[in-house]
């Protein structure tokens, strides 16, 4: 989900995305991008940038309440 989350801010190339995803290896990143592309959540444009599709934006919207809950839960500790 990290890849989808980072791409929701702006389209970017894989190397830019890797820089934002902390310790994720290149092989894992490319695997995630393939999976997200096959699921129709991410698309690659002609310039090599990856972007979230409308379906991917819908998923992020659906996950926002869970993200808010997890942040409240983490603050308890």
pLDDT digit string, tens, across residues 28-38: 999 999 999 99
pLDDT in tens, 54-71: 999 999 889 989 989 999
Position 77 pLDDT exceeds 80: no
pLDDT at 2: 87
Domain ranges in the chain are: 2-75
CB atoms within 10 A of CB 33: 17
Q: 2-75: which CATH topology?
A: Arc Repressor Mutant, subunit A (1.10.10)
Q: Measured between alpha carbons, how far is 72 from 74 in angstroms, rounded to an integer? A: 5
**Residue 11 pLDDT:** 95
Residue 28 backbone dihedrals phi, psi, to 5 degrees? -70, -40
pTM of the predicted model, to two decimals?
Answer: 0.82
Under the banding of pLDDT at 50, 70 and 90, the label for residue 72 is very high
């Amino acid at each position: 989900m990290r890849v989808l989350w980072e791409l929701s801010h702006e389209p970017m190339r894989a190397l830019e995305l890797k820089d934002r995803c902390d310790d994720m290896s290149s092989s894992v990143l490319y695997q995630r991008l393939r999976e997200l592309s096959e699921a129709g959540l991410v698309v690659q444009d002609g310039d090599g940038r990856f972007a979230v599709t409308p379906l991917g934006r819908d998923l992020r919207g659906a996950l926002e309440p869970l993200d808010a809950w997890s942040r409240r839960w983490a603050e308890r500790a």
